[in-house]
Structure 1
């Protein structure tokens, strides 16, 4: 037992402790004169019991207890000795951490043994609670599945780690990882295999990372890493490349070799952001860009990426308001038949007069409309407007009965189970026959989602609706879909027309494409016709319909479109 006696004037206490030392051979006694000396000893050495007067020569006893108690962790008992003990004083002292308040006469061996036993018991309880607390902290900070630190711990630690990086003037890099195709893996192989993949990927990440890197599992299919002191762009690039290889390399799970890939976003402190929240946002922007760029890539945050995302968010959030506020317009580009020359159709092309971003072409908003699902409402608006306009043109004899409007649609629309019903409802609303509408879909999308849209296309074509493959020849895939799908029209991409007629190989290729489509009993529309020579060449190769700037740009003014149609009713190419 170690005892500290403060203010050695209490001769009775000294005598008692000297007597006690004969009973307990390992008892040691230290005597100091005042509170300051007591604090110095207690901060360096553990004492089981401290005996002191209520009034010290240099400071108040309660001040001494307050200054030392947090460091003592419940393992030291305080006995205050006084001649004047009042109930109010006892209550005040006991609530502040003093164990016993006695007179000098009450200070005896029995009291010391009792206080010592209580102290030992309390210290054991504290240590047990402390161990339990450490276990609880480990559980609350650690993800059960992967054994990595969890999202809550990571976010709590991020601010402090960045402050240290700032203090030590080193760079810190936040890397967010989103496992590609993880949902498909779960759906196909089951969640047990998916969980096993995450566990093995976590172990591989730890092998790649350094000991002082903070590696975390965010949940779902996301990991996060905070790497310190990668002081060059090359070092960070190589590190991100090694991380990506973890997911692009095969990981075996119950006999399945999974190569899922990952989209990775990297943001640097302080280059990309000034604090933890900004850094997290920057890394998310870069990760989103990597996923948007085709997955299994990594991107570094930049101001340009930030601006692009801000515009994208503005576009996505204002799409439905744009429909409601009549901000969208349809432009129509005429399609002309040859022998005899006449306007037989027009492609409806959407434009957006955005209130803050100005005039937007489709490539600025259609991809975001598709990913957000808002293409359903926007596409329905296009069909409604095109049908409404076609009725007016037919009623005013601007176009002939054979005139057909081509409308671009996406695989998202075709995959919507309500699409055909709403499409045919629209035709009935305007009393239009199905054969005056032709739906267009880009070749690459059609090939990728063939199984998804096959039945819908067949239902539409069987009802008399035309179905065209846009940008034909750019898909770099098998042409078997021309046999398997009921396609009625091929639109030859403008890239096959550029450079004609001086490019001999290009001429032969265009001729072969037109001939192949004709032999399959499909209509042919050649896009991108910009000169008289190109128009004449297409006519020579027996293309049925031509479209391009040689005839007209897309026309937004309906009066101008009507004038164009009337002027060409009897003209020659």
Structure 2
């Protein structure tokens, strides 16, 4: 939206006109009445005649009625924006010379570049300062007035010459009068020329005139020495000198354009010149034919303006738009453009091959958190230099996409091994410490690599696949590179779809709890159940927890899913206890993830569930993995003690597969150790796993814990576990996980 200023309301006018012959006419085009009123009041107070238009169409109609001296033009307007209005005015010979100053809230460099490319004389950003508008308006009007006065003075000069000729024709008749008139004419010419020279000398642009056929310069103002750096005499002595100082790369183009002036009547070009010290300057050169009254070309006039600063500003804007401000590397836009060009080239040349690398720094967040963002920025700058040093040639490109993500385009490779060598080089250099001014940091990165082939049609797909390979490298332990293959994409696509579907699974009630019986090995009776979640996907059918639980943990959905499991399992055991007296002694084992343990309100949630279902805390057993317990150390111990205070049983799940410290184990208020199924599956008399299980059971009993073995599938395994003193077991030998109705039937059969 356009910026506006709050002012007292006046009647809305489409076009406001007030004429005085001596005033300069300024047309203000803006769709906001407040802006029109502010500018009208400010400019009319300076003696300008103001005309206002609330839209582009009205502005074009107004210009057809009376041509203004200057236009203040808003960009963002309904129906027709300022760019289109400017384009129409500049395409018309009647209005192309009217100076146009853009007024807009758009502050993006591309909008400014577009405005100048459209022919805008100036660009003012909203909200504006009235003083700035007045200064810029006066400058443009003064420039236009100077140009007009030059033309008027030229015409006056021609008229004086004609008068002088007429006076000379009457020399024989009135010799004495002719002498007086001749002196008078000469004086007038002198005054006129002095005025013209004074005006031209005050202009910073080069003003020149040339004979139309002899290619001989007639006039230069003093600005030529300032802009070109050569004495004016050089241009008079050598008619081709102006062409010789043009940059060699631009010279042929300007020669061709100059030859066309007799046919076109005007030429406008921008080109580079070389000053004596070899400094390169940009100039804008506009030349046009001047005709006498009979339509004959009498000379060529031109204006040369130094636009070096303007060009440098444009180049800087373009550079900034395509490069990362922190590292100076190409940014995403420039990198994707170069990949796109490489892709197009590969489509035309079947033997051409390139690679794209996606590089993500491992643990960069930790660098920022520990050392601060200033050190983090220095670290990224050092990484940028390191990556650049690993490239082969100028054909390769390293870019920063943002954050700690970098990409590399490895151009024109003959073998895949060339790209892999660069990746190895990067990983090798990252093994060395990164020495910053005040810190030394060790870095690591995960790299995904994709090789071009004819299946790729755009750069986005290449970067996507390199990104997929990078994440595969991270999942495999970081600090490595992975070469992309199609299977990764299919897996990623499948996981992405699963992630999307998982967000709706709770809402659509697609989850169901199954219950695997836990058997007492001392009494061979049912001791309880483990609640296991199952997902009934509407299209894929039953989805294994091993597929969707990692996704839920990564996306944070595991909290909501874990809450649902906790509520459902507690409600189910409450229902069974109300139906069967013997169910009072059954335990419900429920898995608790590390994210749930980290929750600040975990205890409040458990209290609420116990209160809602009416069960005692001793009825449930929370199963926690070893790594989850070790995750927060003392904080976890305190939280587990709170759970024990509520009589909730605690079990270490999959014991032997995690990272428990025996020095910590005795400090945790644990009731049960659960032997991982991998030990049970390979258990046999005299085998190594048998001794591991024996040791675990002895350790548990020494710490006053009981033991549950999972994955029991044979009678032999059950018998060995009994002999070793294991209290409980679960597995297919006893029962697969079953639905609630089947579990209820099992409880009923135990009571009859």
* TM-score for the superposition, normalised by structure 1: 0.82
Deviation at 1:449, TM superposition (A): 4.5
Q: Give 1:17's aligned residue.
A: 216
Deviation at 1:15, TM superposition (A): 5.8
Structure 2 counterpart of 1:79, from 288, 294, 315: 288
Residues of 2 paired with 1:292 and 1:300: CA distance?
14
Q: Give 1:99's aligned residue.
A: none
Q: Give 2:384's aligned residue.
A: 202
Say which SS state the counterpart of residue 340 (structure 1) adopts.
Answer: coil
Q: Give 1:61's aligned residue.
A: 264
Q: How does 1:4-403 map to 2 (within 5 A)?
A: 13-14=212-213, 17=216, 24-28=236-240, 44=252, 46=254, 50=258, 60-61=263-264, 65=267, 69=269, 76-80=285-289, 82=291, 103-104=296-297, 106-107=298-299, 115=301, 118-119=303-304, 122=305, 125-169=306-350, 170-210=352-392, 211-254=394-437, 256-270=439-453, 273-397=456-580, 399-403=582-586
> Do the aligned partners of residues 297 and 447 (structure 1) sit closer, same or farther apart at CA in structure 2, a change above 3 Å counting?
farther
CA contact (8 A) 1:248 1:296 kept: no
Of 361-370 and 294-303, deviating more is 294-303
Residues of 2 paired with 1:22 and 1:461: CA distance?
100
Q: Give 1:428's aligned residue.
A: 611
1:565 correspondence with 2:744: no
CA contact (8 A) 1:470 1:491 kept: yes
Of 526-535 and 21-30, deviating more is 21-30
> Do the aligned partners of residues 162 and 362 (structure 1) sit closer, same or farther apart at CA in structure 2, a change above 3 Å counting?
same
Deviation at 1:510, TM superposition (A): 1.6
Q: Give 1:37's aligned residue.
A: none
Of 76-85 and 505-514, deviating more is 76-85
CA contact (8 A) 1:171 1:230 kept: yes
Deviation at 1:380, TM superposition (A): 0.6
Say which SS state the counterpart of residue 407 (structure 1) adopts.
Answer: strand
Deviation at 1:476, TM superposition (A): 4.9
CA contact (8 A) 1:4 1:29 kept: no
Q: Kindly provide the CA deviation profile for residues 155-195 of structure 1, in whole angstroms up to 9, marking residues without a partner as x.
A: 34432332234334411211111111111111112112211
Q: Give 1:88's aligned residue.
A: none
Q: Kindly provide the CA deviation profile for residues 15-62 of structure 1, in whole angstroms up to 9, marking residues without a partner as x.
A: 6839999992222499xxxxxxxxxxx9627559958785xxxxx526
Residues of 2 paired with 1:500 and 1:265: CA distance?
41
> Do the aligned partners of residues 80 and 534 (structure 1) sit closer, same or farther apart at CA in structure 2, a change above 3 Å counting?
same
CA contact (8 A) 1:178 1:222 kept: yes
Say which SS state the counterpart of residue 552 (structure 1) adopts.
Answer: coil
CA contact (8 A) 1:4 1:50 kept: no
Q: Kindly provide the CA deviation profile for residues 328-374 of structure 1, in whole angstroms up to 9, marking residues without a partner as x.
A: 11111111113322111111111101112221111110111111111
Q: How does 1:492-531 map to 2 (within 5 A)?
A: 492-531=675-714
Say which SS state the counterpart of residue 535 (structure 2) adopts.
Answer: strand
Structure showing greater radius of gyration is 2
Say which SS state the counterpart of residue 365 (structure 1) adopts.
Answer: helix
Deviation at 1:254, TM superposition (A): 4.6
Aligned length: 516
* TM-score for the superposition, normalised by structure 2: 0.63
Q: Kindly provide the CA deviation profile for residues 422-475 of structure 1, in whole angstroms up to 9, marking residues without a partner as x.
A: 121011101011011111122234334545633322211222111111110112
> Do the aligned partners of residues 569 and 204 (structure 1) sit closer, same or farther apart at CA in structure 2, a change above 3 Å counting?
same
Residues of 1 paired with 2:318 and 2:452: CA distance?
28
Residues of 1 paired with 2:715 and 2:690: CA distance?
15
Residues of 2 paired with 1:451 and 1:314: CA distance?
39
Residues of 1 paired with 2:215 and 2:736: CA distance?
110
> Do the aligned partners of residues 399 and 380 (structure 1) sit closer, same or farther apart at CA in structure 2, a change above 3 Å counting?
farther
Deviation at 1:231, TM superposition (A): 2.7
Residues of 1 paired with 2:567 and 2:662: CA distance?
33
Say which SS state the counterpart of residue 747 (structure 2) adopts.
Answer: helix
> Do the aligned partners of residues 452 and 352 (structure 1) sit closer, same or farther apart at CA in structure 2, a change above 3 Å counting?
farther
Q: Give 1:39's aligned residue.
A: none
Residues of 2 paired with 1:28 and 1:540: CA distance?
110
Residues of 2 paired with 1:223 and 1:16: CA distance?
57
> Do the aligned partners of residues 47 and 322 (structure 1) sit closer, same or farther apart at CA in structure 2, a change above 3 Å counting?
closer
Residues of 2 paired with 1:49 and 1:401: CA distance?
100
- Aligned-residue RMSD, C-alpha: 3.2
Residues of 1 paired with 2:656 and 2:555: CA distance?
28
Residues of 1 paired with 2:563 and 2:234: CA distance?
98
Residues of 2 paired with 1:522 and 1:129: CA distance?
81
CA contact (8 A) 1:415 1:452 kept: no
Structure 2: gaps of 5 or more residues: 1-205, 220-232, 243-249, 273-281
Say which SS state the counterpart of residue 524 (structure 1) adopts.
Answer: strand
Structure 1: gaps of 5 or more residues: 6-11, 31-41, 55-59, 86-101
Structure 2 counterpart of 1:453, from 636, 639, 651: 636
> Do the aligned partners of residues 230 and 444 (structure 1) sit closer, same or farther apart at CA in structure 2, a change above 3 Å counting?
farther
> Do the aligned partners of residues 476 and 503 (structure 1) sit closer, same or farther apart at CA in structure 2, a change above 3 Å counting?
farther
Say which SS state the counterpart of residue 270 (structure 1) adopts.
Answer: coil
Residues of 1 paired with 2:555 and 2:634: CA distance?
22
Q: Kindly provide the CA deviation profile for residues 128-156 of structure 1, in whole angstroms up to 9, marking residues without a partner as x.
A: 43233333333333323222122333234
Say which SS state the counterpart of residue 149 (structure 1) adopts.
Answer: coil
Q: Give 1:9's aligned residue.
A: none
Greater RCO, CA 8 A, separation 6+: 1
Q: Give 1:35's aligned residue.
A: none
Residues of 2 paired with 1:26 and 1:436: CA distance?
106
